């Protein structure tokens, strides 16, 4: 038997031994040295050990029994001090050990930044079980604080684990965003938001100046003077291949131990693998290539041919609830194209990088279910030109190849975890279903599965479908119409992300199946385009429903209604006289006072519209947009002008609001009201946006309804001044314009995104509120115009093209 000596009991060398013992159990007499006083364990699982989700015993890969069964001589806790290549021996505290073949698997060392104070007790790295135990011990002290230097994979796993142990944790990262080697800025932002939501403080572009303390760590000082008091500093800024031993022995070493594709070093009897090697200019830090190397090395030792090649790598972060995926190359370059998908409300971001019709990189955050599918295409170099339009939506949207997701769920064992947030496994969900919880809400109420982050909602629905069979109807995402498989939300996102600024761009780029849409999608697309690109896109009357094209409500007999605007419900004797004259002149059969505090002239013939508009324009009146998916009215009470209870000038504010908002297009109609006191005579609490004046200012409520559904407004915010009430209103209308599905009233849209989501952007984030209001105002420079005036000048287009009844009579 040949003598095989292995230096380092890590994951790579452990895998080599597994392969060898499987194929040729009697070929080698193995001696295994390890500087750590223990055998091989799964280092990837240190994070769950740190967070308390697993114990050390659970992550041991090779226990004492395994080594004994395979007759491995274990020399744990004994570091190798030197290698004599000429005499083929290794030297350690226990003397010299001869070898026929030698494997070096010394791994890597954590890189410690030589900051002042880096050697203080309490400064540790994060590489092995001892580091992990040291962190656990410090975290058990009440009120303990930690600073993690390094916002990469390892640093963030350490930070999340320490936070779960109850420590106050601050992450310092030198780059502009977290995990910059695996994520782009957008995904880095979402990751940061998720970490902050669990109580971790993140400081990017942080330049650490020193670690200070008297005999132990007391604080970290940044270059900008910030002082962060702490009891623990975790240095996780990277690793360096551990190659000194090989270098001292005289082996060829570059950045790491140089090996060929058979894992052979410059000495024919010495092999190396893992994080300590360099192959064709590459060094390695993730486990997948290490396992490939182990397979190759085992074959090489058995005199079989095999070749190690460098493959694309995918990264996942092992922090429960932070779902990210990154693979390939996603740097920007001139010859590359991006496909980007964002859903800010769900915190989902996906970016695909294409070069020459092939996928070369993918970054995903929030929803990584399709990660492996994309990764497969990166590795295979698949030509994606055929499926490019729908590529980002994943395999479910590609014809033919769609796998049945239910079969995979059906095959899951009962103890398979479905909801990571609440630790709910499939068996518990099935039990709940059998106990009568037959829909998502029922499952959430009984098991809490999918009730936290919600990312497992799809899986829970699939468990429902598998268990209930035909009794369960899977809620499917509704596409806009038959012209496309995309949902409204998808289309809105793509219009923004792909900067689609014309209808033809939408049809083309989003793969519409019809030449120019249909009556369902065209009005929606027309709105999305004019809302997102007010300056670039020109409103298309031919994509509007008849009421909006003819600026009046069509009645069942084909006549129209005409409603002039009365700002804030205030009119004058002169206006009323002009309305009465118009009603006489055009034989208006019905004159009605509307619920929106104005006057409706019903039964006007189409060819009379330009004339009546002209007359009303001449009296100083403009269209009331009583027909539009846009601002309708601002209803008011008389407020402080006349009312003895009024607290503010509600009429004045109503007029200002209507002057601010009129002419704007919105996903559905928008009605406002302002009441001068909580008696609420203007009925502001059932409007899309309603303001109640109080002594201290203005209570702004949103999401009311009094139509098909009856709903009371919910409080958006209280503001002290009229200016702020106006700004908040403009910002709210704009965020609704930018995000809602066409034909969703604000209350429906708010139910989807959540009022908190709206508050964050419209109330809490002042800068964002101003930006929204500014974008609204920009759009209003185009749309705050009376549509009647230009049409009144084109009266002929409202008349028949020809009248052959007259010609025939002649």
Partner 1 sequence: MNWIDIGALTDIPQRGARVVKTQVGCIALFRTGDDQVFAVSDTCPHKGGPLSEGIVHGHQVTCPLHNWVFSLETGQAQGADKGQIDTYAVRVEDGRLMLDQTQLQQRSAA
How far apart, in whole angstroms, are the C-alpha atoms of residue 160 and residue 657?
A: 47
Question: Of 302, 425, 518, 753, which one interacts with partner 1 (CB under 8 A)?
Answer: 518
Is 483 annotated as contributing to ligand binding?
A: no
The answer to whether the Cα torsion of 794, 795, 800, 805 is positive or negative is negative
Nearer to partner 1, 28 or 560 (CB): 560
Give the footprint of partner 1 on residues 549-578 (CB under 8 A): 549-550, 554, 556, 558
> In which element (H, E) is residue 351 found?
strand 348-355
227, burial (CB in 10 Å: exposed 0-12, middle 13-18, buried 19+): exposed
Question: Of 150, 366, 395, 517, which one interacts with partner 1 (CB under 8 A)?
Answer: 517
Question: Of 87, 519, 644, 794, which one interacts with partner 1 (CB under 8 A)?
Answer: 519
Q: How far is the CB of 154 from partner 1 (least distance, A)?
A: 56
Q: How far is the CB of 802 from partner 1 (least distance, A)?
A: 4
User: x/- binding map, residues 781-810, to partner 1, per CB under 8 A?
Assistant: ----------------x--xxxxxx--x--
Interface region with partner 1, contact rule CB under 8 A, candidates 57-65, 514-522, 576-584, 690-698:
514-522
765, 725 Cβ separation under 8 angstroms = no
Question: Of 23, 407, 478, 514, which one interacts with partner 1 (CB under 8 A)?
Answer: 514
- Encode 507-530: b = buried (16+ Cβ within 10 Å), e = exposed: bebbebeeeebeeebbbbbbbbbb
Is 230 annotated as contributing to ligand binding?
A: no
User: x/- binding map, residues 3-42, to partner 1, per CB under 8 A?
Assistant: ----------------------------------------
Could you count the other beta carbons within 10 Å of the beta carbon of residue 417? 15
Nearer to partner 1, 556 or 644 (CB): 556
668, 737 Cβ separation under 8 angstroms = no
Structure token digits, residue 94: 């226990």
Q: How far is the CB of 586 from partner 1 (least distance, A)?
A: 19
- Name 257's Cβ contacts closer than 8 Å, sequence gap at least 6: 104, 241, 243, 246, 251, 265, 272, 276, 277, 278
Nearer to partner 1, 185 or 799 (CB): 799
CA distances, 527 to each of 153, 496, 559, 664 (Å): 43, 13, 26, 11
Nearer to partner 1, 358 or 605 (CB): 605
User: x/- binding map, residues 301-340, to partner 1, per CB under 8 A?
Assistant: ----------------------------------------
Question: Of 516, 571, 594, 640, which one interacts with partner 1 (CB under 8 A)?
Answer: 516
Residue 605 interacts with partner 1 (CB under 8 A): yes or no = no
Residue 644 interacts with partner 1 (CB under 8 A): yes or no = no
How far apart, in whole angstroms, are the C-alpha atoms of residue 610 and residue 550?
A: 10
> In which element (H, E) is residue 739 found?
helix 722-739
How far apart, in whole angstroms, are the C-alpha atoms of residue 548 and residue 542?
A: 10
- Name 674's Cβ contacts closer than 8 Å, sequence gap at least 6: 568, 634, 635, 636, 637, 639, 650, 651, 653, 654, 657, 682, 684, 690, 691, 693
Nearer to partner 1, 193 or 482 (CB): 482
Q: How far is the CB of 673 from partner 1 (least distance, A)?
A: 30
669, 628 Cβ separation under 8 angstroms = yes
- Name 404's Cβ contacts closer than 8 Å, sequence gap at least 6: none
Interface with partner 1: number of residues (CB under 8 A): 27
Nearer to partner 1, 450 or 543 (CB): 543
Nearer to partner 1, 99 or 507 (CB): 507
User: What interhelical angle do 426-434 and 440-447 show, nearest 10?
Assistant: 110
What are residue 396's DSSP bridge partners? none
User: x/- binding map, residues 742-781, to partner 1, per CB under 8 A?
Assistant: ----------------------------------------
- DSSP letter for 717, please: E
Q: How far is the CB of 622 from partner 1 (least distance, A)?
A: 23
Question: Of 258, 265, 293, 543, which one interacts with partner 1 (CB under 8 A)?
Answer: 543
> In which element (H, E) is residue 6 found?
strand 2-7
Beta-strand runs (E) in 127-207: 145-149, 168-172, 201-203
Nearer to partner 1, 34 or 543 (CB): 543
Name the residue among 96, 34, 100, 107 with its Cα closest to residue 67: 34
333, 364 Cβ separation under 8 angstroms = no
Nearer to partner 1, 603 or 646 (CB): 603
Q: How far is the CB of 549 from partner 1 (least distance, A)?
A: 7
Angle at 203 between CA 201 and CA 208, to 5 degrees: 120
What are residue 353's DSSP bridge partners? 338, 361
Residue 545 interacts with partner 1 (CB under 8 A): yes or no = yes
How far apart, in whole angstroms, are the C-alpha atoms of residue 130 and residue 233?
A: 15
Q: How far is the CB of 512 from partner 1 (least distance, A)?
A: 11
* 399 three-state secondary structure: coil
Question: Of 15, 127, 522, 656, which one interacts with partner 1 (CB under 8 A)?
Answer: 522
Nearer to partner 1, 122 or 523 (CB): 523
Q: How far is the CB of 626 from partner 1 (least distance, A)?
A: 17
The answer to whether the Cα torsion of 262, 266, 271, 275 is positive or negative is negative
Q: How far is the CB of 518 from partner 1 (least distance, A)?
A: 5
Nearer to partner 1, 522 or 711 (CB): 522
Nearer to partner 1, 196 or 803 (CB): 803
Is 521 annotated as contributing to ligand binding?
A: no
Reading phi first (left if > 0) and then psi (alpha if -120 to 50, else beta), residue 352 is in beta
Give the footprint of partner 1 on residues 75-134 (CB under 8 A): none
* 609 three-state secondary structure: helix
User: x/- binding map, residues 427-466, to partner 1, per CB under 8 A?
Assistant: ----------------------------------------
Interface region with partner 1, contact rule CB under 8 A, candidates 38-46, 508-516, 702-710, 726-734:
508-516
Is 643 annotated as contributing to ligand binding?
A: yes
CA distances, 340 to each of 382, 478, 710 (Å): 19, 21, 38
Q: Which residues are annotated as a binding site for [4Fe-4S] cluster?
A: 637, 643, 677, 681
Q: Which residues are annotated as a binding site?
A: 637, 643, 677, 681
Q: Which residues are annotated as a binding site for siroheme?
A: 681
Note the residues at the interface with partner 1 (CB under 8 A): 514-519, 522-523, 541-546, 549-550, 554, 556, 558, 797, 800-805, 808
């Amino acid at each position: 038997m040949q003598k095989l000596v292995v230096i380092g009991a890590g994951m790579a060398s452990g895998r080599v031994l597994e392969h060898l013992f499987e194929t040729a159990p009697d070929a080698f007499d193995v001696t295994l040295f390890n500087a750590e006083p223990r055998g091989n364990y799964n280092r990837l699982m240190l994070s769950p050990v740190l967070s308390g989700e697993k114990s050390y015993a659970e992550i041991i890969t090779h226990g004492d029994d395994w080594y004994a069964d395979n007759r491995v001589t274990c020399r744990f806790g004994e570091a190798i001090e030197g290698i004599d290549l000429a005499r083929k021996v290794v030297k350690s505290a226990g003397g010299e050990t001869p070898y026929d073949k030698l494997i070096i698997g010394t791994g890597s060392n954590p890189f410690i930044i030589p900051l002042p104070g880096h050697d203080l007790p309490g400064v540790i790295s994060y590489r092995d079980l001892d580091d992990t135990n040291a962190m656990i011990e410090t975290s058990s002290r009440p009120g303990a604080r930690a600073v993690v230097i390094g916002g990469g994979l390892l640093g963030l796993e350490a930070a999340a684990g320490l936070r779960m142990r109850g420590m106050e944790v601050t992450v310092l990262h030198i780059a502009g965003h977290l995990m910059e080697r695996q994520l782009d800025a957008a995904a880095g932002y979402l990751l940061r938001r998720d970490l902050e939501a669990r109580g971790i403080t993140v400081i990017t572009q942080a330049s650490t100046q020193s670690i200070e303390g008297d005999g132990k760590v007391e604080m970290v000082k940044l270059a900008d003077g910030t002082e962060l008091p702490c009891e623990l500093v975790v240095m996780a800024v990277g690793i360096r291949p551990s190659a000194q031993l090989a270098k001292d022995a005289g082996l060829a070493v570059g950045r790491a131990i140089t090996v060929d594709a058979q894992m052979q070093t410059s000495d024919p009897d010495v092999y190396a693998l893992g994080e300590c090697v360099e192959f064709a200019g590459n060094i390695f830090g993730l486990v997948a290539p290490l396992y490939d190397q182990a397979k190759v090395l085992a074959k090489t030792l058995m005199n079989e041919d095999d070749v190690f090649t460098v493959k694309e790598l995918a990264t996942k972060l092992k922090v429960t609830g932070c779902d990210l995926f990154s693979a390939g190359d996603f740097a920007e370059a001139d010859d590359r194209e991006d496909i980007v998908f964002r859903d800010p409300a769900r915190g989902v971001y996906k970016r695909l990088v294409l070069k020459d019709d092939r996928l070369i990189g993918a970054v995903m955050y929030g929803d990584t279910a399709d990660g492996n599918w994309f990764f497969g295409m990166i590795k295979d170099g698949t030509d994606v030109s055929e499926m490019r339009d729908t590529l980002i939506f994943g395999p479910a949207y590609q014809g033919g190849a769609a796998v049945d997701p239910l079969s995979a769920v059906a095959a899951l064992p009962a103890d398979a975890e479905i909801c990571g947030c609440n630790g709910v496994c499939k068996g518990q969900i099935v039990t709940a279903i059998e106990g009568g919880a037959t829909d998502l809400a029922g499952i959430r109420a009984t098991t809490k599965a999918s009730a936290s982050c919600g990312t497992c909602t799809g899986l829970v629905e699939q468990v429902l479908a598998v268990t209930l069979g035909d009794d369960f109807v899977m809620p499917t995402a509704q596409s806009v119409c038959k012209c496309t498989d995309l949902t409204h939300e998808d289309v809105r996102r793509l219009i923004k992300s792909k900067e689609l600024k014309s209808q033809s761009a939408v049809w083309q780029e989003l793969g519409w199946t019809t030449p120019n849409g249909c009556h369902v999608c065209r009005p929606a697309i027309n709105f999305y385009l004019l809302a997102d690109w007010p300056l670039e896109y020109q409103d298309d009357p031919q994509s509007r429903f008849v009421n909006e094209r003819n600026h009046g409500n069509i009645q069942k007999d084909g006549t129209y209604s005409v409603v002039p605007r009365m700002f804030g419900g205030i009119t004058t004797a002169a206006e009323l006289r002009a309305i009465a004259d118009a009603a006489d002149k055009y034989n208006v059969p019905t004159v009605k006072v509307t619920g929106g505090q104005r006057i409706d002239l019903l039964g006007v013939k189409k060819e009379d519209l330009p004339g009546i508009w002209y007359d009303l324009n001449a009296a100083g009146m403009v269209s009331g947009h009583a027909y539009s998916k846009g601002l309708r009215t601002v209803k008011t009470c008389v407020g402080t002008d006349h009312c003895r209870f009024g607290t503010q000038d509600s009429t004045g504010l109503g007029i200002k609001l209507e002057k601010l908002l009129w002419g704007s297009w919105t996903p559905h109609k928008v009605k406002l009201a302002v009441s001068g006191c909580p008696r609420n005579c203007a009925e502001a609490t059932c409007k899309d946006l309603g303001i109640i004046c109080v002594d201290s200012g203005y209570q702004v409520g949103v999401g009311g309804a009094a139509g098909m559904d009856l709903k009371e407004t919910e409080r958006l915010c209280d503001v002290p001044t009229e200016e702020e009430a106006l700004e908040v209103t403009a910002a709210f209308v704009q965020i609704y314009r930018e995000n809602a599905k066409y034909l969703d009233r604000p209350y429906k849209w708010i139910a989807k995104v959540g009022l908190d989501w709206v508050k964050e952007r419209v109330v809490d984030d002042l800068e964002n509120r101003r930006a929204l209001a500014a974008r609204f105002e920009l759009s209003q420079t185009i749309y705050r115009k009376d549509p009647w005036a230009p049409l009144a000048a084109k009266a002929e287009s409202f008349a028949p093209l020809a009248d052959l009844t007259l010609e025939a009579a002649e």
